[in-house]
Amino acid sequence: MVRGRKRPGSNTREFFLYKKGEINVRKLSAVLLSCTMAFGVLAAGCSTNDTAAPGNKDTGQTKQEQKAKILIYNNQEEPTSLDPPIGFDERSYDILTNLMEGLTRLGKDQDPEPAMAKEWKISDDKKKYTFILRDGVKWSNGEPVTAQDFEYAWKRMLDPKTAPPSPAAFLAYVIEGAEAFNSGKGKAEDVKVKAIDEKTLEVTLAKPASYFLNMVANPALFPVHKKTVEGNKNWAAESSTYVSNGPFKMSEWKHDNEIKMVKNEAYWDAANVKLDGVTWKMVGELGTEYQMYQTGELHATTNVPPDLSDQLFAENKVKVENGAGTYFYRFNIKKEPFDNVNIRKAFNLAIDRQKIVDLINKRQEKPATGFVSYGFKDPAGGDFRDVSGELLKFNAEEAKQLLQKGMQEKGYTKLPEVTLVYNDSSTHPKIAQAMQEMYKEVLGVEVKLVTKEWKVLQDEQKKGQLMLARSSFLPDFADPINFLEGFQTGNSMNRTGWSNAQYDKLIQDAYNEADDAKRYQMMHEAEKILMNEAPIIPLYYYNKAYLQSDKVEGIVRHPFGYIDFKWADMK
């Protein structure tokens, strides 16, 4: 996934003024104020005397479309990929969750429920899982979903020869033989995933994992239709070739514009799917999204426009739900000047996260005090975040001292040019501008801002081509280890160049530890190392603040998963 937002009517400029010795961001104030004024003009120019509730107005649909229960939602942008193990991000996973289904599915209460598997047995040592598939489960092309489809899909995800390689492969490392195969040191037949027959899948773990049933609900572990995949390498790129097994199936895909889904009548639980279809728009700008919601072109928003946040919260129009995940930036520690830990720490401490969530986002998020977000309870009932404590805090004086120390260690008289890269949608530009201004005011460092398309940014970040770039993390299952495992040496999700043997050992020990209390202590120690070494800049923890038409009910927004329309309905 309260956030101490600014009160309605407070003065933006005054709010940004700091006491002596603190950051002064008057220029940032001007930027935000001008954006607020511009948005106000836009909102006024688009106003109407029509008093119909948002999401209920005429959208220009045909009478047949209006009669059908078609939910219209915004995906913000084109999914990276709808090939389950490849599209490892929220924009892809939200869509995949509704097109596909795994052995389990996260239910309305967030717990894993039987899905493609009707039941399972767990061995006494908690390492062997035997899943029994439902009778009559089918792909959207009418062919049966089998245990072999799961075995093929998981081994394909792990296969180092799969092109492109799956960024999600590490999720399966809990399975015996999986890591060795994925790293090129083992064979596919040594991966302990085996279809005993068409209805029975046997999985043996390398070590007990209490989160395994939750994890197999993740889109990366969905099955795929072998004939389709092997018959067309671009099978997941067009609606005409896409084969799925979930509540909905794809009927149309206008790239960078919209995806249309219709109810999948072949789905095993089709009787409980109330919608006739879902249309996913791809609009990145929050102001545009809000206007579409106001005119009935969307039935819900993904977010709340910061410029109207105070008003909308005051009018009780905003719905807020718990979320999990962290908005952050990654350093590339192979590039100067961020190959120096003190310079990285200086850039971390120079950021006032509270100002970002209060004055830019305005969605009541909590500023980051470490990398792991709230929402993970230890055996004693304590929240991981609270127990771990405040590992990050704005401190202008210490930031200045660390920068000077780092520059002396590097022999710098002047810091090399720093380039910060972000994608131009939502509030990302404003956050980048705020960071730029804070670095100038606190550290005296001029930071160059560069914007890139999200796909390009991700690709270049993976290749180690960026110095300092935006990133985000949404957990794949409900355990702190999922946040921390990605920063192990050589992990595909690391993308910083950082490596620490003690950290790696703590993560591996946590994997192998059956005692949850000891395991949590290991994870606390690991997070402290991560924050002290500072290969990343955590900014805030996600929540889910949105607007939704009163016509819509039953949407499930998982704190540890993605948006699910299986149970959604329209009045």
Please state, rounded to an integer, the average pLDDT across all residues of the chain: 89
Superfamily of segment(s) 12-37+324-542: Dipeptide-binding Protein; Domain 3 (3.10.105.10)
What percent of the chain is predicted at pLDDT more than 90? 79
Give 269's contacts (C-beta < 8 A, 6+ positions apart): 247, 566
pLDDT for residue 523 is more than 60: yes
pLDDT for residue 15 is more than 90: no
Stretch 462-478: mean pLDDT: 93
Superfamily of segment(s) 97-237: Dipeptide-binding Protein; Domain 1 (3.90.76.10)
Q: Lowest-pLDDT range, 27-41, 122-136, 150-164?
A: 27-41
Confidence of residue 456 (pLDDT cuts 50, 70, 90): very high
- Higher-confidence residue: 1 or 361? 361
Which CATH number is associated with domain 63-76+247-321+545-570? 3.40.190.10
Cβ–Cβ < 8 Å for 310, 321: no
pLDDT for residue 396 is more than 80: yes
Beta strands in 340-423, from DSSP E residues, in sequence order = 366-367, 418-422
Task: Give the CA radius of gyration of the chain.
Answer: 24
What is the crossing angle of helices 341-349 and 396-410, to 10°? 160
Which pLDDT belongs to residue 2?
Answer: 27
Cβ–Cβ < 8 Å for 74, 280: yes
Domain coordinates in residue numbering, the chain = 12-37+324-542, 63-76+247-321+545-570, 97-237
Stretch 6-34: mean pLDDT: 34
Cβ–Cβ < 8 Å for 420, 446: no
Give 230's contacts (C-beta < 8 A, 6+ positions apart): none
Confidence of residue 13 (pLDDT cuts 50, 70, 90): very low
Give 65's contacts (C-beta < 8 A, 6+ positions apart): none
pLDDT for residue 65 is more than 70: no
Stretch 166-188: mean pLDDT: 95
Cβ–Cβ < 8 Å for 350, 439: yes
The single-letter code of the amino acid at 89 is D
